[in-house]
Amino acid sequence: LGLLYQEYRDKSTREEIETRRLQDSQTDTEETSPSGETPSEAEPSSTTENKAPPQINLLRNSNSRFNLWQDLPEVQSSGVLSILQPDEIKLQEAMFELVTSEASYYKSLNLLVSHFMENERLKKILHQSEAHILFSNVLDVMAVSERFLLDLEQRVEENIVISDVCDIVYQHTVNHFSVYITYVSNQTYQERAYKQLLQDKPAFREVISHLELDPKCKGLSFSSFLILPFQRITRLKLLVQNILKKVEEKSDRESTALDAHKELETVVKACNEGVRKMSRTEQMISIQKKLEFKIKSVPIISHSRWLLKQGELQQMNGPKTSRTLRTKKLFREIYLFLFNDLLVICRQIPGDKYQVFDSAPRGLLRVEELEDQGQSLANVFILRLLENADDREASYMLKASSQSEMKRWMISLAPNRRTKFVSFTSRLVDCPQIQCVHPYVAQQPDELSLELADVLNILDKTDDGWIFGERLHDQERGWFPSSMGEEILNPKIRAQNLKECFRVHKTDDSQRRKLGSRNRQ
């Protein structure tokens, strides 16, 4: 626990990746890790790291170097390791990992407050309103973490064999974790304020740089401390998932873990919605200002509408029979705004404006890829509007700039269309999978941000290096570069990953049925 949470988290995900690589390389029936377990977040990289003074109080003894439950002197001297079954030991490690990672997280939060927020020079530079936007309710978040950690520690100290931790997670999630929603929902304002302060206030920039150089920060940036709460609440859900995979089925501990996971999922979704709501509202206002309607005006701004994809395509002029002609003059540029419930088709006009000449509800769109493509008709597809702005059927032959761009448009326009590897009406038992080995930040609304060690089903892929994937732990979908991950080749590991995914979501049958048909953006 000498590690700050950022280091702790990075170390754990790297070990998770290496463990899956090892599992994936096994071809015989005896897997390296038959249960498909993910490694302990606190697992040491060498046995020499296990040695530590015999303190157990993780909050007050932040220099404690214990990494594994089974390395605690109390555990080793008790003889329980020779009595407990291997599966129970793995479960103990998973529960202990949740406790130790919370201690590391609390340590990093404490540093954010004591080293940055309470720095006297910084307080003089920042106006009260600026400090409020920058640090939000971090004091509430830290107080909640401290209370949570103390309850977890008390449970660990009750008995060397931990009875459960998910009941504590459940109680705190229900009663206290709403502070995370408040903090994370402020993220858009926070990021904007931080960039503005760096740009407008040289003194602020100087103090932050000076504070970041302090050995306490271990080379970590100020911004890495600011995003800690969002990273933690997401990671906490995954740690409960890891416990859930190891508890005995149909047991009280499984029931408690499922309840805790469900509540955490609710909080995480609320956090995500809070972030998206702010950026979406601003984006919709900006788009509406740019649109001029040649047809009957359609109100764009709606609390339930958001942008899925926008961009330029080329429309083929004339009837379909003209497609035998091989000339670029057949195409003219059009611009599409695709929302979650509406498609708007435009032509760009001077002044950064767009003239709308057609529209249709998203549910009344159909797409079809051309089979007889020559070079000049490569990456061409047909878009059908079953009912357009004139209440009639219309067809557009559209050309994209690349194969990946064509497929991205087709999947966004018609999300329930069958992809290369998966039929959305009948999910395949064995689907290609990939694990993330490089983090990725989405650049477009139809892309998916990836964290290290994320495992995804591959729903489609292109020849120019893009994958359309569905993350197993939350069923979020989107495109990302294939270079961000490594494909999981062992069918037994893929099957194990799916089995664990279904078990985690077993309390929501409708969610399981929708696992192959969602199109969250």
Q: Is 50 exceeded by the pLDDT of residue 71?
A: yes
SS3 339: strand
Q: Which CATH class is domain 64-285?
A: mainly alpha
Task: State the DSSP string of 467-507.
Answer: EEEEETTT--EEEEEGGGEEEE--HHHHHHHHHHHHHHTTT
Q: What is the pLDDT of residues 185-235, one digit of tens each?
A: 998 899 999 999 999 999 999 999 999 999 999 999 999 999 999 999 999
Q: Is 80 exceeded by the pLDDT of residue 47?
A: no
What pLDDT, on the 0 to 100 scale, is given for residue 426? Answer: 39
Which has the minimum average pLDDT: 11-25, 67-81, 104-118, 321-335?
321-335
What pLDDT, on the 0 to 100 scale, is given for residue 318? Answer: 57
Q: What is the mean pLDDT of the chain?
A: 85
Residues 460, 419 contacting (CB under 8 angstroms): yes
- Helix, strand, coil abundance in the chain, percent, nearest 5: 50, 15, 35
Residues 274-288: what's their mean pLDDT?
Answer: 87
Map out the domains of the chain as residue ranges.
64-285, 294-319+328-413, 424-515
What pLDDT, on the 0 to 100 scale, is given for residue 113? Answer: 97
Q: In the CATH hierarchy, which fold is given to the domain comprising 424-515?
A: SH3 type barrels. (2.30.30)
Percentage of the chain lying above the pLDDT 70 cut: 83
Q: Is 80 exceeded by the pLDDT of residue 32?
A: no
Distance between CA atoms of residues 7 and 45, nearest Å? 13
Residues 386-412: what's their mean pLDDT?
Answer: 94
What pLDDT, on the 0 to 100 scale, is given for residue 63? Answer: 45
Q: What is the pLDDT of residues 3-22, one digit of tens each?
A: 888 888 888 888 888 888 88
Distance between CA atoms of residues 225 and 108, nearest Å? 7
Q: What is the pLDDT of residues 335-385, one digit of tens each?
A: 999 999 999 999 999 999 999 999 999 999 999 988 766 666 788 999 999
Q: Tell me whether strands 353-361 and 365-369 are parallel, antiparallel or unpaired.
A: unpaired
Confidence band, pLDDT 50/70/90 cuts, at residue 164? very high
Distance between CA atoms of residues 170 and 178, nearest Å? 13
What pLDDT, on the 0 to 100 scale, is given for residue 259? Answer: 95
What pLDDT, on the 0 to 100 scale, is given for residue 15? Answer: 83
Residue 218 in tokens: 């271990």
What pLDDT, on the 0 to 100 scale, is given for residue 419? Answer: 61
Angle of the 138-158 helix axis to the 166-175 helix axis, nearest 10: 160
The model scores a pTM over 0.85: no
Q: Is 50 exceeded by the pLDDT of residue 38?
A: no
Q: What is the pLDDT of residues 225-245, one digit of tens each?
A: 999 999 999 999 999 999 999
Task: State the DSSP string of 232-269.
Answer: HHHHHHHHHHHHHTTSPTTSHHHHHHHHHHHHHHHHHH
Q: Is 80 exceeded by the pLDDT of residue 332?
A: yes
Residue 422 in tokens: 């998966």
Task: Out of 51-55, 410-414, 421-425, give the one with best mean pLDDT.
Answer: 410-414
Q: Is 50 exceeded by the pLDDT of residue 1?
A: yes
Q: How far is CA 136 from the centre of its chain?
A: 22
What pLDDT, on the 0 to 100 scale, is given for residue 417? Answer: 64
Residues 68-76: what's their mean pLDDT?
Answer: 90
Residues 285-294: what's their mean pLDDT?
Answer: 94
**Alpha helices of 317-413 — where are they, by DSSP H?**
403-413
- For the domain with range 294-319+328-413, which CATH number is right: 3.40.50.1000, 2.60.120.700, 2.30.29.30, 3.40.50.2300? 2.30.29.30
